[in-house]
């Protein structure tokens, strides 16, 4: 074709969520291959990709035409119409709007933003007709929308009058910028409506425009796109009543469109005319920030100078305070600090970022003034002394050789990026403060997009194809699950033979995989960035289109993080860190009795804390509570803060291979070696091993004369592994190293070493700040274990598996965890008399409102009985089910010792409470009743609950066995047999384990059949750390089914798979615990507070076994112990041990 002939104006990219199957790069390649000079994207209801498309198209020499397909709500104008068919078409009201000019794009952005922000909250953009005024539509070209648009749909449903009214209204609003859109995809509706569109156009003088509305690349991809629409609609392909296009909605060439519309050449010419009229494209901008300490009318240079002066004053004042307390770090002088401060302030001003530091310092100082815990730092920002002086961070960067250039590099202009951790419970308060300070219209979140990843898209496509769930599940499980390195379908086909074999052997599976491959990577949904908040200097919809997440009342920038930054919007990360809340609550409990603990003041060289680390006693301690990390700590035996920093950095895939070498060198088992003698000053603290990115930078500076800014560029180049950049850097490093006295071979060897560790090395600033938070939690556990565990449990109240693990941890530390009690428990976990009191709010089904009400009703006077309880509570807040759950949990044990009686009395409690409430509401209130107060009569003859029923009811109410678990007595046996706790095994599976040995007490068994009719069984089991399910199939059922009965305690060998919905366990083998323990020689140690307990103990013991019994009497609160071994041999079982533990005077029993 000689001229353009045709320009696409109505293309849907993947940003038309679950509708468009074309990535922007694919669209641009198709256009480039067809020599198309311009291209229009009009995604459904959004401008998510507007800036990205504009930039990428321009770089390829294609003129971007930025638009949107936007629904217009004509319903208000047509609400009186009741003609047949109105309901079917009323919702179809889209038009295409293209931005002609800068003002037009601003109007388009505001209109789309308003459609979300003032919409119905459904997450769908829909503009009201009365918003469309001429001034708000200036600079916009309008197309009538196509077959599913505002004009075609009423025509198609016989609503010609409404269609004409809409046409007239749009022609009036847009004038000569309104075009009637013709599409020819071979649909009956298009052919039926086209004559009326052409007739109107000729009669009214409205130009026609030919469009192709591509959703996918080529006709052969129609099947995959059809599956995408079915996924979007929650339907299946076999359904007829669903949205469905045809195979002509692909990206057509200019020649194809010229042939298709050869009879209406003016419609083709209009596409070129529109492209010439649409001259504007959105562009990237420099960062835009509010002027924090400068008058709004100042020039940029004057504003930077004013803010630099304000930052200098704040930093100098803050540094003087830091130098007064805690003072300079060992080996550093005050002069070192002032010189570093001057250097940093100069860089910050030259890069025009003083305002950024002032904004961050302001909301952090406000947070601290409100008592909101703020983390000591996060990421590379901890390398800034200015940040430390202005209290943005709380870790001295000079004390740990942290580098400013790792945070803000004068050699590379990019925004600084402070990631700030706040108390999880109060993060929203900080965001509200920022909104109030700068205006709610100047603060927004950032959008993110979930994608169709391999496993998920295979499941989705399998569903719409109506394939058997089990078959699809088996296919999906062949795709390795690795969140850190997600596997694509392509990679799985190439590297997992079983996956490819399934495709080769089954045509249906081959179709599934082919369709899923086409859809993989497309956007599935829009969400919001977990922490990113944008702050602007004007209403943000003047700078970017906005979106509203239905789950939030805060506006969201429609550009993702990368493109919002490109648009000049500056992100601040407000992260919620649970550990900060844990620390705060623990400190509050410690200070309840008049203490004055400040976590910032604890010594960094506390021996009990390092002893705790060294013995691996770090369950619940930030960053180091996993099994693998605990083993590493035991091997390392850290005795200084730098060791904790190093372990936080090393414990990751790749670097963790150096942990044994680090430990051997630390403890003198291996000599410390350096790549070059001069590097001892850089690598001394890590025993000659490169651990940190900052060490890579310092080595380049020391051996090759790089500035630290240049060294950061070297580190980045090494991380990207771009050959041209690496070759240039190698030459630069070699030349500098030779000048330093190294030989070429030496220089190349060290360069290669740096290249390896630049990729493996960790950000030391981040490691140091998180090591500090870890140390604070370890210190609390070492010195205040009761408060630490109570705080930790409070923050995990919704996770019963975690609570079960904390229960085991408390038991291991001989800390009593007291069952929930209406007379002593607080809303959350608390500490009293060195015991942890279970929080009422942590009982299942007891919300915070109920717990707060019970605690408030109790006040300082414990409930005397159930009648007293009924008189003081409000039945409108409590429910029968809630009280029954509390009874099952033992919360009424203090006033009704038998739980079964308390449970049976709940209906009477509710009745009395309701009766009293009714009396009060009518003003009776028994004012003159001088007799005995009404009470709840306890029911008589209530059968006792069996031990099993009592335990099961407690399990259902609390989520784990609190008072005792049937497996408690087997701890030593499990250790000998290397049986894992469920909580530990669950984490191991997430780290890649696929099999293990578990113990459990069976609480439920479901016998079912597979699709093929063979037996299967679903077992529900529990141990001290939580409950889990195991599936058994026919082979295992035949062999082990007899012992897999509710109430039995067993040891299982299981296989494990991690799925999106959780961990799936399958039974491999099973053994009865009793059968195992009979084969092992046992020793029972019984602890008692009184020697008189020996008589009842003897009565419980059974002679004739091979076990031994030790009897220990504890006196004076544990200050003295007396131990004897009972003569003879006994048959020792867990049941015997449990019976003895229940005797009066016995404080504990242990099986060895």
Residue 473 lies in a domain: no
Q: Is residue 241's pLDDT more than 80? A: yes
Q: Is residue 448's pLDDT more than 90? A: yes
Annotate 796-840 with DSSP letters as a single string: TTT-HHHHHHHHHHHHHTT--EEPP-TTT--SS-EEETTEEEPPG
How confident is the model over 379-388, as a mean pLDDT?
97
Q: Is residue 695's pLDDT more than 60? A: yes
- Residue 117: per-residue pLDDT: 93
- Residue 1081: per-residue pLDDT: 57
Highest mean pLDDT among 209-223, 928-942, 1025-1039: 209-223
Highest mean pLDDT among 46-50, 895-899, 979-983, 1147-1151: 46-50
- Residue 137: per-residue pLDDT: 96
Instruction: Supply the DSSP symbol for 602.
Output: S
- Residue 136: per-residue pLDDT: 94
**Can you tell me which residue has the tokens 């220089």?**
747
How confident is the model over 580-607, as a mean pLDDT?
95
How confident is the model over 623-646, as a mean pLDDT?
94
Tell me: do 1013 and 1102 sit in the same domain: no
Beta bridge partners, 500, equal none
- Residue 927: per-residue pLDDT: 46
Q: Cα separation of 830 and 808, whole Å?
A: 17
Q: Is 117 left (phi over 0), alpha (psi -120 to 50) or beta?
A: alpha
Residue 710 lies in a domain: yes
In this structure, are residues 390 and 758 in contact, taking their beta carbons and an 8 Å threshold? no
Q: Is residue 83's pLDDT more than 50? A: no
- Residue 82: per-residue pLDDT: 43
How far CA 304 is from CA of 13, 311, 312, in Å, comes to 41, 10, 12
Check residues 235 and 1093 and name the one with the higher pLDDT.
Answer: 235
Domain count along the chain: 6
How confident is the model over 7-35, as a mean pLDDT?
97
What's this model's pTM, rounded to 2 decimal places? Answer: 0.84
Residue 104: which CATH number?
A: 3.20.20.140
Tell me: do 937 and 996 sit in the same domain: no
Per DSSP, the three-state class of 96 is strand
- Residue 1100: per-residue pLDDT: 80
Cα-to-chain-centroid distance, residue 763: 22
How far CA 366 is from CA of 291, 361, 385, 534, in Å, comes to 18, 8, 20, 18
| pLDDT tens digit sequence for 781-817 | 999 999 999 999 999 998 888 898 899 899 889 999 9
Closest by Cα among 626, 575, 222 to 375: 575
Q: Is residue 932's pLDDT more than 70? A: no
| pLDDT tens digit sequence for 488-523 | 999 999 999 999 999 999 999 999 999 999 999 999
Residue 534 lies in a domain: no
Residue 545 lies in a domain: no
Q: Is residue 544's pLDDT more than 70? A: yes
Alpha helices in 91-239 (DSSP H): 102-117, 152-156, 160-174, 188-204, 222-233
- Residue 1117: per-residue pLDDT: 53
Annotate 188-213 with DSSP letters as a single string: HHHHHHHHHHHHHHHHHTPPEEE---
Q: Cα separation of 303 and 294, whole Å?
A: 5
How far CA 915 is from CA of 78, 760, 903, 922, in Å, comes to 54, 69, 20, 11
Closest by Cα among 452, 773, 504, 490 to 644: 773
How confident is the model over 727-737, as a mean pLDDT?
93
Mean pLDDT of the chain: 91
Q: Is residue 121's pLDDT more than 80? A: no
Residue 236 lies in a domain: no
Tell me: do 1043 and 1100 sit in the same domain: no
Mutual angle of helices 427-438 and 354-369, in 10-degree steps: 130
For residue 298, name the pLDDT band (cuts at 50, 70, 90). Answer: confident
On the CB side of 492, how many CA atoms lie within 13 Å of its CA?
28
Which residue, 376, 394, 423, sits at the end of a domain?
A: 423
Q: Cα separation of 153 and 94, whole Å?
A: 10
- Residue 962: per-residue pLDDT: 87
Number of other CB atoms surrounding residue 561 within 10 Å: 16
Lowest mean pLDDT among 45-54, 123-132, 579-588, 1081-1090: 1081-1090
Check residues 1004 and 511 and name the one with the higher pLDDT.
Answer: 511
Residue 430 lies in a domain: no
- Residue 1132: per-residue pLDDT: 80
- Residue 91: per-residue pLDDT: 54
- Residue 550: per-residue pLDDT: 83
For residue 1125, name the pLDDT band (cuts at 50, 70, 90). Answer: confident
Tell me: do 269 and 293 sit in the same domain: no
Buried/exposed code over 81-119 (b: 16+ C-beta within 10 A; e: otherwise): eeeeebeebbebbbbbbbbbeeebbbbbbbbbbbbbbeb
Lowest mean pLDDT among 282-286, 316-320, 939-943, 1085-1089: 1085-1089
Residue 556 lies in a domain: no
Q: Is residue 281's pLDDT more than 60? A: yes
Tokens of 548: 């509203």
- Residue 918: per-residue pLDDT: 85
Q: Cα separation of 626 and 846, whole Å?
A: 30
Q: Is residue 81's pLDDT more than 50? A: no
Closest by Cα among 564, 533, 540, 530 to 116: 540
Q: Cα separation of 467 and 459, whole Å?
A: 9
How far CA 39 is from CA of 12, 178, 598, 763, in Å, comes to 11, 19, 62, 43
Number of other CB atoms surrounding residue 229 within 10 Å: 19
Tell me: do 133 and 255 sit in the same domain: yes
Tell me: do 1073 and 1087 sit in the same domain: no
Tell me: do 71 and 209 sit in the same domain: yes
Q: Exposed, middle or buried: residue 908 (CB in 10 Å: 0-12, 13-18, 19+)? A: middle
Tokens of 1005: 């068994």
- Residue 942: per-residue pLDDT: 92
Share of the chain above pLDDT 70, in %: 95
Which residue, 905, 930, 958, sits at the end of a domain?
A: 958
Q: Is residue 451's pLDDT more than 50? A: yes
Q: Is residue 361's pLDDT more than 50? A: yes
Share of the chain above pLDDT 90, in %: 72
In this structure, are residues 891 and 840 in contact, taking their beta carbons and an 8 Å threshold? yes
Q: Cα separation of 979 and 174, whole Å?
A: 75
- Complete edge-to-edge strand list for the sheet that includes strand 817-818: 817-818, 835-837, 830-832
Highest mean pLDDT among 639-653, 1022-1036, 1129-1143: 639-653
Residue 992: which CATH number?
A: 2.40.50.140
How confident is the model over 88-107, as a mean pLDDT?
85
Tell me: do 1060 and 1118 sit in the same domain: no
Which residue, 904, 929, 958, sits at the end of a domain?
A: 958
- Residue 89: per-residue pLDDT: 47
- Residue 88: per-residue pLDDT: 44
Q: Cα separation of 390 and 318, whole Å?
A: 6
Tell me: do 620 and 757 sit in the same domain: yes
Q: Is residue 84's pLDDT more than 60? A: no
Q: Is residue 57's pLDDT more than 90? A: yes
Question: Domain range for residue 996?
Answer: 968-1077
Q: Cα separation of 166 and 512, whole Å?
A: 43
| pLDDT tens digit sequence for 948-992 | 788 889 988 998 888 878 888 788 788 888 899 888 888 888 777
- Residue 1080: per-residue pLDDT: 61
- Residue 1061: per-residue pLDDT: 64
Tokens of 1048: 């039995």
Q: Is residue 931's pLDDT more than 60? A: no
How confident is the model over 368-396, as a mean pLDDT?
96
Lowest mean pLDDT among 295-299, 619-623, 766-770, 779-783: 295-299
Tell me: do 1037 and 1098 sit in the same domain: no
Tell me: do 166 and 26 sit in the same domain: yes
Tell me: do 820 and 942 sit in the same domain: yes
Residue 1020 lies in a domain: yes
| pLDDT tens digit sequence for 525-540 | 999 998 999 999 999 9
How confident is the model over 423-448, as a mean pLDDT?
96
């Amino acid at each position: 074709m000689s001229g353009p002939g045709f320009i696409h104006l109505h293309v849907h990219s993947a940003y038309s969520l679950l509708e468009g199957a074309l990535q922007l790069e694919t669209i641009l390649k198709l256009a480039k291959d067809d020599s198309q000079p311009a291209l229009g994207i009009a995604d459904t209801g959004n401008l998510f990709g507007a800036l990205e498309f504009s930039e990428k198209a321009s770089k390829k020499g294609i003129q971007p035409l930025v638009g949107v397909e936007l629904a217009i709500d004509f319903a208000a104008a047509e609400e009186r119409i009741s003609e047949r068919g109105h309901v079917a078409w009323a919702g179809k009201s889209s038009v295409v709007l293209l931005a002609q000019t800068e003002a037009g794009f601003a109007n388009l952005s505001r209109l789309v933003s308003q459609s979300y922000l003032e919409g119905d909250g459904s997450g769908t953009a829909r503009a009201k007709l009365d918003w469309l005024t001429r001034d708000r539509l200036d600079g916009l070209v309008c197309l009538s929308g196509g077959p599913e648009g505002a004009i075609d749909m009423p025509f198609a449903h016989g609503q010609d009058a409404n269609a004409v009214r809409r046409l007239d209204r749009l022609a009036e609003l847009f004038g000569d910028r309104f075009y009637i859109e013709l599409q020819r995809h071979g649909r009956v509706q298009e052919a039926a409506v086209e004559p009326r569109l052409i007739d109107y156009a000729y009669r009214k003088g409205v130009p026609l425009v030919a469009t192709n509305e591509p959703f996918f690349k080529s006709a052969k991809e129609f099947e995959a796109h059809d599956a995408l629409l079915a996924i979007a609609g929650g339907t299946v392909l076999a359904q007829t009543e669903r949205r469905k296009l045809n195979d002509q909605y692909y990206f057509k060439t200019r020649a194809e469109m010229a042939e298709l519309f050869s009879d209406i050449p003016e419609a083709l010419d209009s596409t070129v005319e529109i492209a010439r009229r649409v001259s504007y494209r959105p562009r990237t901008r420099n960062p835009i920030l509010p002027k924090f300490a400068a008058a709004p009318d100042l020039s940029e240079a004057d504003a930077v100078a004013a803010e630099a002066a304000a930052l200098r004053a704040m930093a100098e004042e803050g540094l003087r305070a830091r130098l007064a307390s805690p003072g300079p770090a060992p080996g550093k002088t005050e002069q070192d600090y002032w010189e570093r401060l001057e250097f940093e302030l100069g860089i910050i001003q030259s890069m025009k970022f003083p305002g950024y530091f002032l904004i961050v310092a302001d909301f952090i100082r406000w947070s601290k003034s409100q008592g909101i815990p703020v983390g000591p730092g996060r990421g590379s920002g901890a390398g800034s002394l200015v940040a430390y002086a202005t209290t943005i961070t709380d870790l001295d960067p000079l004390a740990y050789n942290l580098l400013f250039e790792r945070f803000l590099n004068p050699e590379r202009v990019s925004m600084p990026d402070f990631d700030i951790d706040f108390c999880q419970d109060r993060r929203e308060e900080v965001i509200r403060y920022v909104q109030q300070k700068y205006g709610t219209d100047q603060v927004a979140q950032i959008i993110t997009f979930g994608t169709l990843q391999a496993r998920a898209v295979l499941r989705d496509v399998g569903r719409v194809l109506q394939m058997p769930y089990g078959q699809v599940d088996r296919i999906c499980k062949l795709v390795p699950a690795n969140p850190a390195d997600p596997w694509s379908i392509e990679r799985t086909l190439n590297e997992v033979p079983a996956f490819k074999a399934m495709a080769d052997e089954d045509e249906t599976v081959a179709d599934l995989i082919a369709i899923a491959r086409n859809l993989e990577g497309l956007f599935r949904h829009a969400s919001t960035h977990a922490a990113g908040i944008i702050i602007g200097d004007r209403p943000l919809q003047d700078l970017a289109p906005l979106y509203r997440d239905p789950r939030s009342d805060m506006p969201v920038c429609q550009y993702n993080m990368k493109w919002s930054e490109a648009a000049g919007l500056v992100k601040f990360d407000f992260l919620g860190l649970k550990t900060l809340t844990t620390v705060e609550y623990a400190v509050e409990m410690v200070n309840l009795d008049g203490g004055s603990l400040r976590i910032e003041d604890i010594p960094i060289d506390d021996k009990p804390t390092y002893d705790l680390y060294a013995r691996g006693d770090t369950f619940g301690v930030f960053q180091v509570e996993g099994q693998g990390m605990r083993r590493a700590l035991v091997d390392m035996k850290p005795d200084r803060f730098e060791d904790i920093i190093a372990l936080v950095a090393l414990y990751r895939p790749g670097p963790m291979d150096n942990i044994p070498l680090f430990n051997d060198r630390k403890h003198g088992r291996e000599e410390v070696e350096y790549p070059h003698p001069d590097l001892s000053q850089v690598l001394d603290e890590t025993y000659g091993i490169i651990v940190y990115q900052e060490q890579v930078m310092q080595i380049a500076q020391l051996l090759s004369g790089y500035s630290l800014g240049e060294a950061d560029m070297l580190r980045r180049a090494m991380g990207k592994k771009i050959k041209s950049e690496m070759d240039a850097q190698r030459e630069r490093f070699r030349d500098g190293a030779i000048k330093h006295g190294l030989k070429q071979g030496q220089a190349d060897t060290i360069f290669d070493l740096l290249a390896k560790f630049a990729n493996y090395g960790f950000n030391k600033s981040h490691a140091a700040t998180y090591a500090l938070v870890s140390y604070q939690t370890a210190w609390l556990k070492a010195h205040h274990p009761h408060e630490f565990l109570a705080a930790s449990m409070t923050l995990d109240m919704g996770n019963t598996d975690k609570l079960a693990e904390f229960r085991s941890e408390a038991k291991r530390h001989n800390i009593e965890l007291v069952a929930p009690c209406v007379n002593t428990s607080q809303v959350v976990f608390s500490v009293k008399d060195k015991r942890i009191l279970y929080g009422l709010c942590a009982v299942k089904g007891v919300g915070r409102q109920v717990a707060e009400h019970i605690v408030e009703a109790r006040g300082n006077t414990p409930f005397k009985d159930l009648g007293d309880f009924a008189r003081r509570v409000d039945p409108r807040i409590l429910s029968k089910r809630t009280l029954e759950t509390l009874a099952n949990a033992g919360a009424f044990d203090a006033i009704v010792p038998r739980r079964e009686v308390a449970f049976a009395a709940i209906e009477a409690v509710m009745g009395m409470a309701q009766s009293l409430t009714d009396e009060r509401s009518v003003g009776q209130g028994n004012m003159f009743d001088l007799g005995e107060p009404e009470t709840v009569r306890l029911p008589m003859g209530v059968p006792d609950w069996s031990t099993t029923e009592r335990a099961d009811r407690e399990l259902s109410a609390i989520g784990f066995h609190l008072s005792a678990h049937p497996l408690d007595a087997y701890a030593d046996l499990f250790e000998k047999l290397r049986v894992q706790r469920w909580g530990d095994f669950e984490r191991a599976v997430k780290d890649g384990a696929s099999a293990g040995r578990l113990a459990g007490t069976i609480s439920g068994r479901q016998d079912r059949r597979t699709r093929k009719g063979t037996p299967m069984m679903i077992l529900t089991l529990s141990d001290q750390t939580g409950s889990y399910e195991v599936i058994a199939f026919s082979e295992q059922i035949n062999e082990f089914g007899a012992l897999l009965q509710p109430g039995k305690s067993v040891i299982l060998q299981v296989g494990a798979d991690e799925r999106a919905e959780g961990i799936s366990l399958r039974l491999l083998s099973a053994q009865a615990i009793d059968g195992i323990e009979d084969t092992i020689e046992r020793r029972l140690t019984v602890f008692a507070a009184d020697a008189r307990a020996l008589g009842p103990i003897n009565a419980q013991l059974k002679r004739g076994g091979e076990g031994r019994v030790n009897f220990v009497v504890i006196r004076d609160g544990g200050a003295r112990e007396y131990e004897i071994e009972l003569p003879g041999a006994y048959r020792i079982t867990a049941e015997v041990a449990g019976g003895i533990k229940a005797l009066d005077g016995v404080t504990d029993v242990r099986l060895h």
